[in-house]
Structure 1
């Protein structure tokens, strides 16, 4: 009978040893669980900090996006102003070119007018001299003066008045 008791005793010891091992393993797992819970808590705190930082960064990004959009609008307005200035410069340069061309044409026209007036004046002088020479040649003794101003009564005397006009012959 002794051996079956030993067997029970050995079985009880073995069970006790199993329970002790299970208890040690349970304590070890409890410690691991506590470490994991602490790590989870730390991770949650870190995750909350990351979420808060993410929210802050999203807010900053929204502000930067708004500022960026304002800068783009301002740039577009400035670009329109620059385009308008460039168009004005182009129009101004075109107008300056036309003014320069017209000034050249005006200068040439003035020169032509002056030349024509000089030629007309020369022709009038030549015509006057020719008429005078003709009148002097046609009169036998005294040159006849014709009063073209009609200072004297012209209607009563249909014949032109004749005066001694020796002072008119300035080129003799």
Structure 2
């Protein structure tokens, strides 16, 4: 970590894991990701990283692996493995980058686009079920707060990247 948080103390007796926000965010994220991962794996044979690449490519087709790393905030190895799995299944195609001979551009194939069209409604249904107990203004607030937390984490780590809305 590049920066020490302001006002931090080393009083371990004050740390209660169930009340510790980073822990709660991680637990919530793992619960949601696990739920969705099972659905993607069981029904479509996809890992969460593979689904994320398909989704990003459906939004912004024709990206390099470096652009996918930045866009998904996944590490290079995870993106590379996910991309290779999608290539093996002919869900994405790889072509040479016109400006950088060391880089490749990934695009969805018709099969990849078809799979996205099949999964996207399922993803939206899971989101709707997850937020069904929240009022629309609470959902909007939650999204704004998560973006601010992501931004603050990026600034503390020196990797400040504006979150996508």
Question: TM-score normalised to the size of structure 2?
Answer: 0.19
Which has a greater percent of helix? 1
The structure with higher relative contact order (CA 8 Å, sep 6+) is 2
Question: TM-score normalised to the size of structure 1?
Answer: 0.18
Which has a greater percent of strand? 2
